[in-house]
Chains A and B, each alone.
Chain A
Amino acid sequence: MNQLLDENIQNQVRQALSPMEEPVHVLFFGSQNDCEYCDDTRQLLEEVTSLSDKLSLGIHDIDSDADLARQFGVDKTPGIVLAGKEGDVITDYGIRFAGIPAGHEFGSLIQGLLLISSRNSGLSQATKEQIKLIQKPVLLQVFATPT
């Protein structure tokens, strides 16, 4: 199969991921039914996660791994979860993608990996304090286009 990331891009991504500190685990959720971008998304994640030894990838199916999908709040395919990893313990930070992270979203994917790897949101202290006070569930859905 052809590579999605050519050698030039691979080098750029490797460079971008070089400041990674802590390990990050990526969960991919695909589907056998009507999922046009699942194969490409899976391949893209396989290629990206091979570019840093701090990255690992789990391949899952939204139907046969329904409990896991529910646990991580995944209800669309292709679905991606970026999580922390301490030894065998996976930490969910509620950070997901729905759809192939190509184009502009590819940058968001790389940023997300770096974000979790740093274990620090980088938000201002004032914002952090206000966010921590929220006691109701919040779902933020950020619509973007790949171009």
Chain B
Amino acid sequence: MLAHKMAMENPLIQAEAIDAVEFPELSRKHNVSGVPQTTINDGAGHVVGAVPETNLLAAILQSVK
């Protein structure tokens, strides 16, 4: 998965694949409706759906600005 690949390239990046069904409270907190949904830094950014690497990269860069 793309997030895992990103994590490989920088030790500051961690990527966790979460089963939304097993963790409903966390899913509710981040308003997960469509999957996959990527939440960046506890809500600083969101990406819905499977997106190309440039889109996820842009969302990450925006979130750490």
Chain A residues with CB under 8 Å of chain B are 36-37, 73, 76, 82, 92-101, 105, 108, 111-112, 115-116, 120-124, 127-128, 130-132, 134-146
Interface residues of B toward A: which range? 35 or more
Do the beta carbons of B21 and A99 come within 8 Å of each other?
yes
How many angstroms between the C-alpha atoms of A127 and B27 in the bound complex? 28
The secondary-structure label for the interface of chain B is mixed
Do the beta carbons of B1 and A96 come within 8 Å of each other?
no
Please, which residues of chain B bring their CB within 8 A of the CB of A134?
10, 12-13, 60-61, 64
Do the beta carbons of A137 and B8 come within 8 Å of each other?
no
The secondary-structure label for the interface of chain A is mixed
How many angstroms between the C-alpha atoms of A105 and B16 in the bound complex? 12
Do the beta carbons of B5 and A121 come within 8 Å of each other?
yes
Min C-beta distance of A34 to chain B, whole Å: 11
A98-B16, A139-B42, A144-B20 are known contacts. Are A130 and B4 too (CB-CB below 8 A)?
no
